[in-house]
A and B are shown apart, each in its own frame.
Chain A
Amino acid sequence: MALLEVNDLDVRFAVRGGDLKALRGISFSLDKGERLGLVGESGAGKSVAAFSILNLIAKPGYIAGGQILFEGRDLAAMSERELRGIRGNRIAMIFQDPMMTLNPVLTIGTQMVEAIQAHRKISKKEARKIALDRLQKVQIPSPEKRLDQYPHELSGGMRQRVIIAIALLLDPEIIIADEPTTALDVTIQAEIMALLLDLCEQENVALMLITHDLGVVSQVTQRMLVMYSGRIIEQGPTREIINDAQHPYTQGLINALPQMGEPGERLFQIPGSMPSLKNVPTGCPFHPRCHFATEQCKQAMPEYVRSGNVNVACYEVANLIEQEKRMQEAES
């Protein structure tokens, strides 16, 4: 059984004039110790997906359907009280901006002790010992000193290390990291990503990494999901998708990267932009921007087809697979 299994999850935002469908039937799973990347551009729904796992969707958002099974129990159906036992304890979360998640008027030590004592009945002294241990794990220089410092006394990279230390406090099964390095400089970003990867491997923690950076996904994750307009359009082993993407959107996303183009030549570009949730196109949401779009694509959302180890939702890919099969049959 997978550690986390999301089935047909539907998340909506109730606004004037009807519901906005932020997630439309997404399904994926996460095994123990596995590292999964969630890729997409802004508005694709990747952060909503991450937040909904811990039922952190704020009103007017709500989970309209589907299951989120963690060790077999449905998080979507749990009471707030039960959920609190899991949040930060069994499933921890790391956000983009460390200054937003740290309380500016409490010392690092106070915040860490508070987090531990919220879940475990232990003394302050013991809690401080755990906090110190985690700060050492994230390789902060002079960790004892940091416990008595306030967030503003630390640099951006250091703050994100503290956030990772807090996420590790209670030995979680899963860490959900939402763009953890986007606000940081290139060299610091590389350090933090390497640290997160090392720690997840050492402690055998599963990682769900949300990012728009395909380079980072390629370095850190084993499997990846590509999201577009509230749907997963492609999922499978990271290496396989990066080397040989099936969906026209994923292909476009990879080919649009400057590192894929010849220096000085025009880059590959996907025309248009992601549709807003207010007017999602019928059928495949990508069809208005797709080179391969046919009448069929405008009618209904394509089903997933399997190509190698990758699941893709695209009529064009399905047709190609069908053709290949027929050719093989004809040969034999």
Chain B
Amino acid sequence: MTSPLVKIRSLEKRFDLSGSLLEQLRFENGRFRRKQEAVHAINGVDLDVHKGETLCVVGESGCGKSTVARTVMGLLSPSAGEIHYDGERIDHLDGKAVQPYRRKMQMIFQNPYASLNPRMTIQQTLEEPIRFHYPQWSATEVRDKVHEVMHSVGIDPDWGSRFGHEFSGGQRQRIAIARALAVDPEFIVADEPISALDVSIQAQVLNLLMDAQESCSLTYLFITHDLAVVEHFGTRVAVMYLGRVCELADTKTLFATPRHPYTQALLSAIPRLEDDRPNHIRLQGEVPTPVQLPSGCVFHGRCPYANDRCRQEIPQLIATDGGGQVACHAVEEGRL
């Protein structure tokens, strides 16, 4: 097997909540104490993204999926762990050294209303990354490239002089995709790229992403909460819960035989057209706060199969018969 394009190793990310030293001081029981708190957004994630595939990361809000996306892209620096791109470690690079990777790795954001600069025309928006990464190109070359990408995403190149607000949500997301494609990337991180769009527009944008993948041989890291989209679009799926990967498998395998109790609950919660009634697996309670992580398995508080071992020992990802990986003591012990 060839080495993966992107390798994420024991990635951790904490966001400090406690502020400055003075804000950390608390007066308790007659003496000062220093109290530090942090949001544990990612707690040891290992993922490989292979060339040409679409790796989907799914989970509910607060599970750390967007933080993974941003850390991989270098928008956030990891608290611990490593990120490798094509064999090179990139998370500790800075300035000039990281620039070639910035071109190869592009990002598409959720909200096309926020990700396009309202004061720039579409032409300017699309020219900027090209000029930055290919400073040697002539003005005509740049313009031709802009025309080419606009054409490829289905935006009339004559509309280049318009501003972002003159377009509908779906068109704006097309422009955001064009901007990512403009510098011939190899790897695209898409963070909920269709969640803000209407159903009929979602299909258009998904098709566009699939076409682009085929014609430019792209690799996707696709972040979403919509499992129906994953089933359609993903090569492999990683399910995250409270900053950890709880299951990783081929899309087909995962949807046919989900092993982790959380994955099972998540899949059962998709409202399907053929259903006459909601028929989801009921979970107890709610997602705990990532400020104080539960001991042991992060899911134990809501899991119907939890026992003492789950409450104490953190489960590691183990290989399953189907070729996937699952982090669950119950599966390992054959209880599930």
A residues apposed to B, CB below 8 Å? 41-42, 155, 157-158, 185-191, 193-194, 197, 212-216, 218-220, 239, 242, 252-254, 256-261, 263-264, 266-271, 273-274
Q: List which B257-284 residues lie within 8 A (CB) of chain A.
A: 265-266, 268-278, 280, 282-283
CB pair B200–A252 under 8 Å, yes or no, is yes
Partner of B207, one of A42, A187, A194, A269: A269
- Show 9 residue pairs from A and B whose CB-CB distance is below 8 angstroms, ordered by the A residue: A41-B201, A187-B283, A218-B274, A258-B203, A258-B226, A260-B273, A263-B251, A267-B206, A274-B198
A194 CA to B279 CA in the complex, in Å? 8
Convert B202-232 into 0s and 1s, putting 1 for each residue whose CB lies closer than 8 angstroms to a CB of A.
Answer: 1110110011000000000000011111011
For B272, the closest partner residue in chain A by CB is A215
CB pair B233–A218 under 8 Å, yes or no, is no
CB pair A219–B275 under 8 Å, yes or no, is yes
B170 within 8 A of A: yes
CB pair B203–A213 under 8 Å, yes or no, is no
A186 CA to B267 CA in the complex, in Å? 9
Closest 6 CB pairs of A and B: A215-B271, A258-B232, A256-B203, A190-B269, A185-B60, A41-B198
A residues within 8 A CB of B211? 266
- New A-B pairs, 18, CB < 8 Å, besides A197-B277, A260-B273, A266-B207: A41-B198, A186-B225, A186-B266, A186-B270, A187-B283, A194-B280, A212-B198, A213-B271, A215-B270, A218-B274, A219-B278, A242-B273, A261-B232, A263-B251, A266-B211, A267-B203, A273-B170, A273-B198
Q: Output the least CB separation between A158 and chain B (Å).
A: 8
CB pair B278–A187 under 8 Å, yes or no, is no
B residues within 8 A CB of A213? 271
Q: Output the least CB separation between B101 and chain A (Å).
A: 29
CB pair B228–A258 under 8 Å, yes or no, is yes
B24 within 8 A of A: no
B residues apposed to A, CB below 8 Å? 60-61, 168, 170-171, 198-204, 206-207, 210-211, 225-229, 231-233, 251-252, 265-266, 268-278, 280, 282-283, 286-287
Q: Output the least CB separation between A101 and chain B (Å).
A: 20
Q: Output the least CB separation between A181 and chain B (Å).
A: 9
For A276, the closest partner residue in chain B by CB is B168
A residues within 8 A CB of B201? 41, 273
A286 CA to B23 CA in the complex, in Å? 59
CB pair A268–B269 under 8 Å, yes or no, is no
A191 CA to B269 CA in the complex, in Å? 8
Assuming the contacts A42-B198, A270-B200, asked whether A219 and B277 have C-beta atoms less than 8 A apart, the reply is yes
CB pair B206–A193 under 8 Å, yes or no, is no
B residues within 8 A CB of A185? 60-61, 225, 287
A158 CA to B198 CA in the complex, in Å? 27
CB pair B275–A218 under 8 Å, yes or no, is yes
CB pair A273–B200 under 8 Å, yes or no, is yes
By secondary structure, the A interface counts as helix
Assuming the contacts A42-B198, A187-B266, A258-B229, asked whether A273 and B206 have C-beta atoms less than 8 A apart, the reply is no
CB pair A215–B280 under 8 Å, yes or no, is no
Q: Output the least CB separation between A259 and chain B (Å).
A: 5
CB pair B202–A254 under 8 Å, yes or no, is no
B residues within 8 A CB of A239? 276
CB pair B275–A269 under 8 Å, yes or no, is no
| Max count, chain B CB within 10 A of own CB: residue among A41, A254, A256, A271 | A256
Partner of A259, one of B171, B272, B278, B287: B272
Q: Output the least CB separation between B239 and chain A (Å).
A: 12
B residues within 8 A CB of A263? 231-233, 251-252
Assuming the contacts A187-B266, A218-B271, asked whether A269 and B198 have C-beta atoms less than 8 A apart, the reply is no
Q: Output the least CB separation between B224 and chain A (Å).
A: 11
CB pair A218–B61 under 8 Å, yes or no, is no
B residues within 8 A CB of A257? 199, 203, 228, 273
Q: Output the least CB separation between B83 and chain A (Å).
A: 27
For A267, the closest partner residue in chain B by CB is B203
CB pair B168–A273 under 8 Å, yes or no, is yes
A155 CA to B287 CA in the complex, in Å? 9
B residues within 8 A CB of A216? 271
A259 CA to B232 CA in the complex, in Å? 7
CB pair A259–B273 under 8 Å, yes or no, is yes
B residues within 8 A CB of A271? 204
A186 CA to B226 CA in the complex, in Å? 8
A216 CA to B272 CA in the complex, in Å? 7
Partner of B265, one of A187, A215, A219, A252: A187
For B279, the closest partner residue in chain A by CB is A219
A220 CA to B280 CA in the complex, in Å? 13
A residues within 8 A CB of B275? 215, 218-219
CB pair A267–B271 under 8 Å, yes or no, is no
B residues within 8 A CB of A197? 277-278
A residues within 8 A CB of B280? 187, 190-191, 194
For B280, the closest partner residue in chain A by CB is A190
Q: Output the least CB separation between A40 and chain B (Å).
A: 9
CB pair A258–B233 under 8 Å, yes or no, is yes
A258 CA to B202 CA in the complex, in Å? 9
